[in-house]
Amino acid sequence: MSTLAPLLTSRWGDPQSWTLAAYREAGGYQALAKAFEMEPAAVLNAVKDSGLRGRGGAGFPTGVKWSFLPPPDGGPRYLVVNADESEPGTCKDIPLMMADPHSLIEGVIITSYAIGCHHAFIYLRGEVVHVYRRLLHAVSEARAAGLLGDGVMGTDFKLELTVHAGAGAYICGEETALLDSLEGRRGQPRLKPPFPAVAGLYARPTVVNNVESIASVPWIVANGADWWKSMGTEKSTGVAIYSLSGHVKRPGQYEAPLGITMRRLLELAGGIRDGHELKFWMPGGSSTPMFTAEQLDVPLDYDSVAAAGSMLGTRALQCFDDTVCVVRAVSRWMDFYAHESCGKCTPCREGTFWLRAVLRRIEAGQGKMDDLQILEDIPGSIVGRAFCPLGDGAPSSLTSSLKFFRDEYVQHIDQGRCPYDHTASYLFEAVAA
């Protein structure tokens, strides 16, 4: 039975874990020393061989992504770390950067070395100022220690690392919108091709990777691709952070080999709160179709989750017990997508606006049976029509909720009110009105 395998999270509990001293104490920057003894191509191959798949949601093999860069032409090429963690339910990169920023920096240096980048960027979600400060501090520590700048660790490798705080837009988690934002433009996704590997930041070859992907790189370099592949499943290798939230007894980040089941994770997290049962859960954040107790034994790897009709996404496992009104939950998510739609393409901009209005009405007891047709049809007008994947993900929770809980929508419409007591779902004491 799978159990926890803390690697990326292993240092989080150390005293002053965010400092360079503590990171070194725990063995940090040794993978970097090892990487510098290897040819850059060998580092790239190690990551490719490890089968590491992107931890930002799409699950594209990281090493393969790096290999898409065209051969060096003497001009700059960039590594951009996507730290714009904004998906509702996703909470792994922010704690990682908070507790262990040097693991990300080490990953950045190794990756830059592997792909021939001399200026890397971390694009951070703008709201998390505390993380921004911590990253800035870690970078200045690393620079003072000769880990960044000219001659990294006494080699002739040069690397600048810029930490950039975004302005708080979900769309900037989409890699091309992130690049536009980083260039100082309005954050909206770019037309592809050209892909970032060919013309990314400042129209130069660019690799964009998630925080957790990059933070995994030192582990792979230090211990080898085979070691990494010994964990997880054949096609979803290694370990990953599972973030449990909601009505579980011990919410938090659980790092385990890919392929662990939700049943096992729930055990580790102490189960659903007393006196209640799991009603539904989101396997990969609010952009992925929801699961119910029926899918508790689906292995949480990329392919098994896809086969079961959802997506592993960012492993943001939000758990909702039997006190939760699914219409209310979906309505809140739709608020988020309507609010965060960048507005570039018609389907996402107009579709989420329409769905939000209908959902709010149904929740308020003003729904009509005709509305169900709208809720069933409009997601189809968004998915596969939108400009970027964020639009495609926006109606996932709605569509899956209709699959599992259509009756609940009908109840709202028939009764002209929400049949649930919302205060029962609170995780805090309800204040009497």
Interface residue list for other proteins (CB under 8 A) = 169, 171, 186, 188, 191, 338-347, 349-354, 357-358, 361, 370, 373-374, 378, 380-381, 384-387
Q: 10 Å Cβ neighbour count for 281?
A: 27
CA-to-CA distance for 250 and 229, rounded, in angstroms?
29
- We find the least distance from the C-beta atom of residue 105 to other proteins, in angstroms, to be 32
Q: For residue 412, give the H/E element and its range.
A: helix 396-415
**With respect to other proteins, which residue has the nearer C-beta, 162 or 373?**
373
- We find the least distance from the C-beta atom of residue 342 to other proteins, in angstroms, to be 5
- At residue 82, φ and ψ (nearest 5 deg) are -85, 100
- We find the least distance from the C-beta atom of residue 309 to other proteins, in angstroms, to be 17
- We find the least distance from the C-beta atom of residue 368 to other proteins, in angstroms, to be 8
Alpha helices in 116-261 (DSSP H): 129-144, 175-182, 196-199, 211-223, 225-229
- We find the least distance from the C-beta atom of residue 371 to other proteins, in angstroms, to be 9
- We find the least distance from the C-beta atom of residue 33 to other proteins, in angstroms, to be 43
In the chain the first and final C-alpha atoms are separated, in Å, by 47
**With respect to other proteins, which residue has the nearer C-beta, 100 or 340?**
340
**With respect to other proteins, which residue has the nearer C-beta, 247 or 349?**
349
CA-to-CA distance for 231 and 259, rounded, in angstroms?
9
Q: What residues does 83 pair with on adjacent strands?
A: 124
Q: What residues does 291 pair with on adjacent strands?
A: 281
- We find the least distance from the C-beta atom of residue 341 to other proteins, in angstroms, to be 4
CB 115 within 8 Å of CB 44: yes
**With respect to other proteins, which residue has the nearer C-beta, 171 or 305?**
171
CA-to-CA distance for 300 and 318, rounded, in angstroms?
14
**With respect to other proteins, which residue has the nearer C-beta, 188 or 210?**
188
**With respect to other proteins, which residue has the nearer C-beta, 51 or 379?**
379
Q: Which two tokens stand for residue 47?
A: 């990551």
Which residues, 6+ apart, have CB-to-CB distance to 361 below 8 Å?
367, 371
- We find the least distance from the C-beta atom of residue 372 to other proteins, in angstroms, to be 12
Alpha-carbon Rg of the chain, whole angstroms? 22
Q: Which residues of 353-390 are buried (b: 16+ CB within 10 A; e: fewer)?
A: ebbbebbbbbbeeebeeebbebbeebbebbbeebbbeb
- We find the least distance from the C-beta atom of residue 293 to other proteins, in angstroms, to be 31
- We find the least distance from the C-beta atom of residue 227 to other proteins, in angstroms, to be 35
**With respect to other proteins, which residue has the nearer C-beta, 127 or 350?**
350
**With respect to other proteins, which residue has the nearer C-beta, 196 or 232?**
196
**With respect to other proteins, which residue has the nearer C-beta, 292 or 366?**
366
CB 153 within 8 Å of CB 142: no
CA-to-CA distance for 121 and 83, rounded, in angstroms?
10
**With respect to other proteins, which residue has the nearer C-beta, 133 or 185?**
185
CB 62 within 8 Å of CB 219: no
